């Protein structure tokens, strides 16, 4: 099937709820994508932050092949080894809590919100979230997402969500009442434009939650699993959340979500209160175990730190040359380039030249290279971006 034939199929049979580019991707390998027209694309935003250790990582592929031949899915009526093993590996690398598995980020956040309601007293039904956040597209998580553009057409929203400006401690203080069950934030807002929470902000959330008998939920769906150079972004601070959610990079490309809570909180989730048919299936869990092993065996956390610094340095150099770049921000391999005007045209032109990056919030270029990236590949990406910015100002 050629590109046009595939697009025709979509036009006829697939709901058009995405703005898609006119390209059909047929293969992914490491830092590269290949389209049906034979183009090779350097991917600095692999799978919307899902393919965190690159496309089709050999260790993930091997684990999937092996697991697929033994057991793909077994319902949660039974125990299965990959789910238990994954929970252990994650718990040891996070705050020692227990894990619940599902299939996406939104589902992980749904589980977190339900657990916070279950664990806290019945008059506590409110959730504080931050402006610019993104927590998913289900009814509760879209209400948690404090960006009006995601609410259009869906009013009235699920009640109970209170929005505060991000990184604003006094606004948070003012929003607290006895009815607050939890505060939910991203340590670095991804879709919101790579906005990094200050240490003081996370510390203040922790203190205010403790003072008011509320829970602190960190949405690490995009920041988690090594992206920032630590297993989880909260580990850059002294703050430990009560509940944390994961998804995107966890399965190396396979759909999986996870919610973890401190043991005494997790205990509120007794049989009958929450469930997922596919959650924790053997195939997805085996993939996630392979991701964790690959990150450790190949020293990818160190690589994320080192290459993150390198990428930022290179982008800072571009800033000296191109006035459209206002500043560069981010942690590890989660980097945003704040432009002084729209970035979408720049992203399109980069793709035409064989580089995939993303633009979010209208004017922030998002670089989230796979954790296996090398200096040579970053140089290649910078060179393409440089040429596009140069042409753009002509
Ligand atoms: C992508 C994302 C989600 C939603 O994940 P889905 O798998 O699309 O449901 C939630 N929170 C954050 C921070 C995200 O980046």
The domain spanning residue 78 has which CATH number?
3.40.640.10
Does residue 132 belong to any structural domain of this protein? yes
Does residue 48 belong to any structural domain of this protein? no
- Cis upstream peptide for 261 (omega within 30°): no
Quick one: 157 and 204 in the same domain? yes
Quick one: 191 and 151 in the same domain? yes
Quick one: 133 and 206 in the same domain? yes
- Which of 297, 328, 343 is a domain's end point? 297
CA dist., res. 2 & res. 13, Å (int): 17
**CATH code: domain of residue 348:** 3.90.1150.10
Q: How many domains does the chain have?
A: 3
Quick one: 192 and 100 in the same domain? yes
Nearest atom, ligand 1, residue 247 CA? 7
Sequence-ordered list of residues with C-beta below 8 angstroms from that of 82, at least 6 positions apart, any chain: 67, 282, 285, 286, 289
pLDDT at 388 over 90: yes
Cα-Cα end-to-end distance for the chain = 39
pLDDT at 197 over 80: yes
CA distances from residue 300 to 52, 77, 248, 291, 305 in whole angstroms, order as listed: 10, 36, 17, 10, 9
Quick one: 13 and 137 in the same domain? no
Residue 394 pLDDT: 62
Across 256-276, average pLDDT: 98
pLDDT digits (tens, 9 = 90+) for 81-122: 999 999 999 999 999 999 999 999 999 999 999 999 999 988
Across 226-237, average pLDDT: 98
Quick one: 104 and 234 in the same domain? yes
134 catalytic, yes or no?
yes
Q: Which of 43, 219, 262, 377 is the catalytic position?
A: 219
Which residue's CA lies nearest to atom 15 of ligand 1? 222
Residue 392 pLDDT: 85
Confidence class for position 152, pLDDT limits 50, 70, 90? very high
For ligand 1, the distance from its centroid to the CA atom of residue 136, given in whole angstroms, is: 5
Quick one: 352 and 378 in the same domain? yes
- 10 Å Cβ neighbour count for 147? 16
CA dist., res. 343 & res. 326, Å (int): 12
Residue 228 pLDDT: 98
For ligand 1, the distance from its centroid to the CA atom of residue 391, given in whole angstroms, is: 34
pLDDT at 132 over 90: yes
pLDDT digits (tens, 9 = 90+) for 52-70: 999 999 999 999 999 999 9
Is the pTM higher than 0.75? The answer reads yes
Does residue 183 belong to any structural domain of this protein? yes
For ligand 1, the distance from its centroid to the CA atom of residue 235, given in whole angstroms, is: 20
Q: Which of 59, 126, 248, 377 is the catalytic position?
A: 248
Quick one: 328 and 378 in the same domain? yes
Tokens coding 26 = 């047929």
pLDDT at 393 over 80: no
DSSP class per residue in 95-108: TS-EEEEESSHHHH
Quick one: 284 and 316 in the same domain? no
Sequence-ordered list of residues with C-beta below 8 angstroms from that of 287, at least 6 positions apart, any chain: 60, 63, 64, 67, 251, 252, 253, 254, 256
Tokens coding 339 = 């432009």
Confidence class for position 39, pLDDT limits 50, 70, 90? very high
Percent of the chain beyond pLDDT 70?
100
Quick one: 15 and 133 in the same domain? no
Does residue 291 belong to any structural domain of this protein? yes
- Which of 271, 297, 323 is a domain's end point? 297
**Exposed, middle or buried by CB within 10 Å (0-12, 13-18, 19+), for 96?**
exposed
For ligand 1, the distance from its centroid to the CA atom of residue 246, given in whole angstroms, is: 9
Nearest atom, ligand 1, residue 190 CA? 15
Which residues have C-beta atoms less than 6 Å from ligand 1?
104-106, 109, 134-136, 186, 190-191, 219, 221-222, 247-248
Does residue 100 belong to any structural domain of this protein? yes
219 catalytic, yes or no?
yes
3-state helix, strand, coil in the chain (%, to 5): 40, 20, 40
Tokens coding 321 = 């040359």
Does residue 44 belong to any structural domain of this protein? no
Sort strands 161-164 and 126-130 into parallel, antiparallel or unpaired.
parallel
Q: Which domain holds residue 24?
A: 1-35
Does residue 356 belong to any structural domain of this protein? yes
- Which of 282, 297, 312 is a domain's end point? 297
CA dist., res. 156 & res. 245, Å (int): 26
Does residue 41 belong to any structural domain of this protein? no
Quick one: 108 and 207 in the same domain? yes
Nearest atom, ligand 1, residue 106 CA? 9
Tell me the three state secondary structure of residue 330.
Answer: strand
Do residues 255 and 284 make contact, with C-beta atoms less than 8 angstroms apart? Answer: yes
248 catalytic, yes or no?
yes
Which residue's CA lies nearest to atom 5 of ligand 1? 105
Nearest atom, ligand 1, residue 104 CA? 7
pLDDT at 353 over 80: yes
Quick one: 227 and 350 in the same domain? no
Residue 114 pLDDT: 98
For ligand 1, the distance from its centroid to the CA atom of residue 360, given in whole angstroms, is: 14
pLDDT digits (tens, 9 = 90+) for 174-192: 999 999 999 999 999 999 9
């Amino acid at each position: 099937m050629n590109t046009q034939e595939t697009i025709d199929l979509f036009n006829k049979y697939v709901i058009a709820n995405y703005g898609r580019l006119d390209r059909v991707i047929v293969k992914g390998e490491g830092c590269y994508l290949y389209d049906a027209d034979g183009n090779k694309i350097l991917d600095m935003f692999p799978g919307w932050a899902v393919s965190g250790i690159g496309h089709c990582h050999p260790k993930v592929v091997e684990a999937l092949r092996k697991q697929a031949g033994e057991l793909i899915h077994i319902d949660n009526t039974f125990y299965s080894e990959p789910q238990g093993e994954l929970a252990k590996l994650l718990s040891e690398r996070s705050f020692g809590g227990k894990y619940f598995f599902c299939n996406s980020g939104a589902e992980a956040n749904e589980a977190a919100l339900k657990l916070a309601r279950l664990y806290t007293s019945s008059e506590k039904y409110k959730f504080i979230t931050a402006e610019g956040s993104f927590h998913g597209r289900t009814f509760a998580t879209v209400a948690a997402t404090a960006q009006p553009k995601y609410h259009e057409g869906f009013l009235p929203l699920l009640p109970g969500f209170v929005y505060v400006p991000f990184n604003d401690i006094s606004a948070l203080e003012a929003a607290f009442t006895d009815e607050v069950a939890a505060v939910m934030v991203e340590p670095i807002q991804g879709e919101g434009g790579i906005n990094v929470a200050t240490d003081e902000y996370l510390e203040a959330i922790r203190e205010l939650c403790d003072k008011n008998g509320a829970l602190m939920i960190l949405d690490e769906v995009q920041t988690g699993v090594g992206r920032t150079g630590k297993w989880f972004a909260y580990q850059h601070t002294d703050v430990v959340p009560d509940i944390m959610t994961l998804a995107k990079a966890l399965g190396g490309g396979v759909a999986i979500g996870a919610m973890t809570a401190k043991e005494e909180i997790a205990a509120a989730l007794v049989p009958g209160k929450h469930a997922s048919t596919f959650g924790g299936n053997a195939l997805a869990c085996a993939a996630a175990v392979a991701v964790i092993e690959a990150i450790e065996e190949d020293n990818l956390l160190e690589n994320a730190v080192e290459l993150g610094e390198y990428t930022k340095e290179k982008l800072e150099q571009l800033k000296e040359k191109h006035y459209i770049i206002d500043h560069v921000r981010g942690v590890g391999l989660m980097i945003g380039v704040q432009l002084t005007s729209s970035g979408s045209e720049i992203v399109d032109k980069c793709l035409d030249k064989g580089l995939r990056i993303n633009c979010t919030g209208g004017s922030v270029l998002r670089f989230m290279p796979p954790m296996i990236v090398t200096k040579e590949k970053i140089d290649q990406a910078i060179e393409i971006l440089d040429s596009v910015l140069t042409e753009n100002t002509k």
